[in-house]
Amino acid sequence: MSRSFWIPILCGIIANIAAVNYFDGSRAEGFIAYLLGAILGEIIVKEDVK
Protein backbone atom coordinates (compact mmCIF):
# COMPACT_ATOMS: atom_id res chain seq x y z
CA MET A 1 0.00 0.00 0.00
CA SER A 2 1.26 3.44 -0.87
CA ARG A 3 1.44 6.48 1.34
CA SER A 4 -1.37 8.08 -0.64
CA PHE A 5 -3.65 5.32 0.65
CA TRP A 6 -2.71 5.49 4.34
CA ILE A 7 -2.35 9.25 4.98
CA PRO A 8 -6.09 10.10 4.59
CA ILE A 9 -7.06 7.14 6.79
CA LEU A 10 -4.57 8.09 9.51
CA CYS A 11 -5.64 11.75 9.42
CA GLY A 12 -9.26 10.68 9.75
CA ILE A 13 -8.57 8.35 12.67
CA ILE A 14 -6.56 11.02 14.50
CA ALA A 15 -9.34 13.59 13.96
CA ASN A 16 -11.93 11.07 15.18
CA ILE A 17 -9.99 10.28 18.36
CA ALA A 18 -9.46 13.99 19.04
CA ALA A 19 -13.15 14.79 18.57
CA VAL A 20 -14.39 11.97 20.81
CA ASN A 21 -11.77 12.18 23.58
CA TYR A 22 -10.79 15.83 23.82
CA PHE A 23 -13.96 17.66 22.76
CA ASP A 24 -16.46 15.24 24.41
CA GLY A 25 -18.06 14.63 21.04
CA SER A 26 -20.65 12.02 20.22
CA ARG A 27 -20.07 9.29 17.65
CA ALA A 28 -21.77 11.39 14.97
CA GLU A 29 -19.39 14.28 15.64
CA GLY A 30 -16.50 11.81 15.60
CA PHE A 31 -17.60 10.56 12.18
CA ILE A 32 -17.85 14.12 10.83
CA ALA A 33 -14.37 14.79 12.20
CA TYR A 34 -13.17 11.57 10.53
CA LEU A 35 -14.52 12.75 7.17
CA LEU A 36 -12.90 16.18 7.57
CA GLY A 37 -9.62 14.52 8.54
CA ALA A 38 -9.79 12.24 5.52
CA ILE A 39 -10.43 15.24 3.24
CA LEU A 40 -7.46 17.00 4.81
CA GLY A 41 -5.38 13.88 4.22
CA GLU A 42 -6.40 13.85 0.55
CA ILE A 43 -5.30 17.49 0.24
CA ILE A 44 -1.95 16.63 1.85
CA VAL A 45 -1.47 13.75 -0.60
CA LYS A 46 -2.35 15.89 -3.63
CA GLU A 47 0.08 18.62 -2.55
CA ASP A 48 2.76 15.99 -1.87
CA VAL A 49 2.38 14.51 -5.37
CA LYS A 50 2.88 17.88 -7.09
Query: What does 26-42 look like in DSSP terms, one character per residue?
Result: -HHHHHHHHHHHHHHHH
Please report the pLDDT score of residue 3 as a whole number: 66
24: left (phi over 0), alpha (psi -120 to 50) or beta: left
To the nearest 5 percent, what fractions of the chain are helix, strand and coil? 85, 0, 15
pLDDT digits (tens, 9 = 90+) for 1-50: 566 778 788 888 888 777 777 666 666 777 778 888 888 888 888 877 66
Please report the pLDDT score of residue 36 as a whole number: 83
Number of structural domains, the chain?
1
Measured distance CA(22)–CA(47) in Å, rounded: 29
Structural domain including 29 reads 3-49
